[in-house]
Amino acid sequence: MPIIQYIDTAPKLSELCRQISKESWLALDTEFLREKTYYPKFCLLQIATPDWVACIDPLALDSLNELFDAIYNPDIIKVFHSCRQDLEIFYQITGKVPSPVFDTQIAAPLLGFQENPGYAMLVSSLLNVNLSKAHTRTDWTVRPLSEAQLEYAADDVIYLCQIYKLMLEKLEKLNRLDWLKLDFELLQNTELYDVSPKNAWLKVRGKNKLTGKQLSIVQALCEWREKTAQNEDRPRNWLLRDDMLFELAKLQPSGVDELIAVRGFNERIAMKHGKTICRLIDEAKQRPPVPLNEKGRSAKKSQHQEAILDILTALVRIRADENDLNPAILASRKDLELLLFDDPDSLLRQGWRYSMVGQELEGLLKGEQLLGIEAEKVYSVNKPE
């Protein structure tokens, strides 16, 4: 194992950046805390190559500009496992998302693994190594960090290097590396990391069951909750849980006393924000909600629609089996619904999924393709003219 470089001064950081500039790819991981804040508190950045490993302490450094300039070099591939939260931290600090990236969690299903496999599972399966869980609940804000903590953090990128090299070799052998291009490009969408308060309600589950006034109230309260959580840097659910949003939308309290009487409502929040919450509820009742605009997908589907989805699912399973893929990575039920309802954002209309099965599925939906059964196998053919 290479010696862990602990970077906590500007001179050490400059030397590390010179090392980074010589590399064609880097394995990266972050340690952060988010239990008591809206924004993740950046506590440690681990970087490794096959030859060296470093743990950078952002709490000890006055500026990380030089580091991010080095990492953001477009000639260097940034390798992560499940990178959404890591990229969110980078975006919040720099206002940009690094590219290009390679995510081993996204790539793994193309090599026969389940959808969204955990890092420890990949390390165990590919390297026959069982990762320690001794510091899973570490408070990474506390200094100094022990040697054991640094070794635990460094392991995440040391083994990530090995996983990446193995995956790259396998993907190239199977000619599947290009399949991932679109998936990785989608990670550059800044909307993934910068939640607009106005659109916060879109992430609340069960909204399609609300009446017009109730939906309008939930939309207003979600926007207020997101803005307040951002301004106060506290978890949104510390202000209002999702189930409380629905309760308020149904009960529609008109004053602080009625708000406090709602079962489970935080009295401290009521005293601090109660008047604002009641005002927002009253105003929301007077206007129509923003339309769900879900093209009927949230409504109960007809038996014919469900049957069509079953047929599409069958074809997906066949093509997945032919390519030794988990069917879930090729197309989920939701992906098929998007295609059925002619949604332009369907992943089945893009990239390798379109070539493998999307175009064929479109042919079925248009009546241009037919399915048949022969010798206990399902096949598709072009509809005769």
CA distance 162 to 205: 39
pLDDT of residue 115: 84
Band (293; pLDDT cuts 50, 70, 90): low
pLDDT at 250 over 60: yes
* Among 172-186, 273-287, 316-330, 370-384, the range of highest mean pLDDT: 273-287
- How confident is the model over 254-259, as a mean pLDDT? 96
Q: For residue 212, count other CB atoms closer than 10 A to its CB.
A: 12
List phi, psi (to 5°) of 103.
-110, 115
CA-to-CA dists, residue 324 to 12, 218, 309, 350, 381, angstroms: 47, 44, 22, 20, 22
pLDDT over threshold 60, residue 294: no
Measured between alpha carbons, how far is 101 from 27 in angstroms, rounded to an integer?
10
Query: Which is more confident, 372 or 144?
Result: 144
Could you give the percent of the chain with pLDDT greater than 70? 98
Residue pLDDT, tens place only, 136-180: 889 999 999 999 999 999 999 999 999 999 999 999 999 999 999
All structural domains of the chain with their residue ranges: 4-192, 197-285, 303-382
Per-residue pLDDT at 350: 86
pLDDT at 298 over 60: no
Check: CB of residue 77 under 8 Å from CB of residue 25: yes
Q: Bigger pLDDT: 356 or 277? A: 277
Select from 1.10.287.1400, 3.40.605.10, 3.30.420.10, 3.10.310.10 the CATH code of 4-192. Answer: 3.30.420.10
Q: Give the pLDDT mean for 100-108.
A: 96
Structure pTM? Answer: 0.88
pLDDT at 296 over 50: no
Superfamily of domain 197-285: HRDC domain (1.10.150.80)
Element (H, E) at 123: helix 119-127
Instruction: Using a pLDDT cut of 90, give the percent of the chain over it.
Output: 81
- Asked if residue 264 has pLDDT above 80, the reply is yes
Question: What does the pLDDT read at residue 381?
Answer: 83
Domain at 303-382, CATH class: mainly alpha
Q: Is the pLDDT assigned to residue 379 strictly greater than 90?
A: no
CA distance 268 to 240: 12
Count of CB atoms situated within 10 Å of the CB of 275: 13
Rounded distance between C-alpha atoms, residue 65 and residue 31, angstroms: 19
Is 295's pLDDT higher than 70?
Answer: no
Q: 4-192 with 197-285: one CATH topology?
A: no
pLDDT band at 352 (very low <50, low <70, confident <90, very high): confident
Residue 337: predicted pLDDT: 94
Round the average pLDDT of the chain to a whole number and report it: 93
